[in-house]
Amino acid sequence: MKIAMASDHAGFSLKNEIKAYLEEQGHEVLDFGTNSEESCDLPDYIYPASLAVAEGKAERGIFVDGVGYGSAMIANKIHGLYAAVCQDPFCAQLARSHSNTNVLCIGGKIIGSAIALEVVKAWMTTEYLSDMPKYTLRVDKVKEISERHLKKISEI
Ligand SMILES: O=C(CO)[C@H](O)[C@H](O)COP(=O)(O)O
């Protein structure tokens, strides 16, 4: 799978560890930076990576900052992106099986690399339960909100 990755300074080190793990698993990573621990502004990196997912250049995104929510705030403002902050594998599993998210956000100040890799593994390997109407109905309702409030990438 093609994965867009991005981070700020606080997620830089964990981004690199996750990137190495994904590449080991045979995935292709498009790395949108940042490229050091020098202080930077999260939107400068998460927005271009989010656009890559929205435009279909990557199938999914994995974004890392200090605590995760900043990346999710940015990603969830883009049409077609559904981002969840997951700091444990159970949450990551449900973010796929119940919610069909296509963006995973992790906080490098919250979890260490061992748990983070478990989170990534759970999120990457869990299928959406597309044959369970209670989940598809909810996901469709979220999509409908997005259709009503977010501009499509082709309209920008
Ligand atoms: O977690 C974050 C957003 O969700 C950021 O990484 C955090 O706010 C960065 O803070 P600082 O510049 O003080 O390192």
pLDDT in tens, 100-145: 999 999 999 999 999 999 999 999 999 999 999 999 999 999 999 9
Residues present in the chain in total? 156
Rounded CA separation 49/19 (Å): 14
Say if ligand 1 is within 6 A of residue 43 CB: no
Adjacency order of strands within the sheet including 2-7:
28-31, 2-7, 60-65, 103-107, 83-85
Provide CATH code, domain 2-155: 3.40.1400.10
66 lines ligand 1 (CB under 6 A): yes
Q: Is 36 helix (H, G, I), strand (E, B) or coil?
A: coil
DSSP state of 1: -
Residue nearest to atom 14 of ligand 1 (CA): 10
Span 24-53, pLDDT tens digits: 999 999 999 999 999 999 999 999 999 999
Domain ranges of the chain: 2-155
pTM of the model: 0.98
**Residue that has been written with the tokens 């449900």 in this structure:** 94
